[in-house]
Amino acid sequence: MPDSTDLLSLTHLHTALDLAERAIGLSDPNPRVGCVLTAPDGRVIGQGHTQAAGGPHAEVMALRDAAQHGEPTAGSTAWVTLEPCSHHGRTPPCCDALIAAGCARGVALMRDPNPLVAGQGLARLRAAGLTVLALDEAPDDEARALLARAHDLNIGFFARMTRGRPWLRLKLASSMDGRSALPDGQSQWITGPEARHDGHGWRRRASALVTGIGTVLADDPTFTVRGWPCERPPLRVVLDRHLRTPPTHRIAQIGKADPATPGTQVYAHAATLADSAGRERQMRLEQQGVSVLAWPGTQAHDPASAARLDDLAESWSELGWNEVHIEAGSRLAGAFWQAGLIDEVLHYLAPSYLGPGQPVLNLPDLPALPALPLAWRVAQALPLGQDTLLRLRRV
């Protein structure tokens, strides 16, 4: 076993989690994983984190780091934030690489919920004679804090593996009285630069950024990540029943203008794509590099219905999307909310009151006050310049 001092302090797993965070905006659809290798005398001899899909995983990067520094790995301990993979995907199994390197011990923060792994990586290490410990099997208080951080880091991956749907995060910005615009639709920046910068950091985590045609027509957004390093930009997705997205708008042209940025996806009603005018609009968008897709599942009239949003979310899981970031107008945001699909809310509150105006969420009248306890909890309250972020999660 690793010595008791290491097990009590868990310093190397803290470092491994720091490394794993470097895979944000890089590793999707793979989980964000970090690995630290220590020699039998406790020295750190290698470190690494998951690379872009198809590239090396954290364990292989740590082994390469040790090799580059001339450090032998026989008898070493691998400290990893997630169970080493045991299956052949785009890369060989990481547990085989650790075995071949002569590692003697493995300490994993969490077991992998992927059915292709699900304990098999740890089992293969044990079968090869390694001493293996998974901290989520019997965590103490310090391990529980690490586990919470590790779970949040890969919350979308875990959601996709366990329930077949990505983690859906809704971003809102409003005055204190919940208004995003004046009654006539007049709007400007509700929040300050610090809050907007933080919002781009959350965009960076996502596999896809989702908005509606109303936002595209009103704001002509680029819907990109700015102010943060992001080697794998998230996809931009527009939900547009009648395919009204103008080919001249920036969200349609950005993929063609910047080959490093993936093109936008537009979901339209199947009936729209079946008529000649719809096909003509589709062709003009595709000439700009836009992918035009028919809404999956039921052919109900309204693509913002709960049933169709369920179908859509499930189809995103099949595409390997882990976290989906929604920034939309009050109607589409309200539709996702009413469908019960939102897992987390980022609500940026400006210290202002607008009075009568457009709500940040379009919701129906409640027949009665909700019963206590409420279905949501405040997971974080964070001052950002003049504004405040309230991060909500379901109880």
Residues involved in catalysis: 59
Tokens of 231: 């080697």
Please give the angle made by the CA atoms of 196, 323 and 78, to the nearest 5 degrees.
110
Phi-psi region at 385: left, alpha or beta (left = phi > 0; alpha = psi -120 to 50): left
User: Which residues share a beta bridge with 46?
Assistant: 37
Judged by DSSP in three states, 279 sits in helix
In terms of Cβ atoms closer than 10 Å to its own Cβ (0-12, 13-18, 19+), residue 139 is middle
In terms of Cβ atoms closer than 10 Å to its own Cβ (0-12, 13-18, 19+), residue 57 is buried
Let me know: does 108 contact 120? Beta carbons within 8 Å: no
- Would you tell me the crossing angle of helices 11-21 and 141-153 to the nearest 10 degrees? 10
Return d(Cα 180, Cα 357) in angstroms, integer: 7
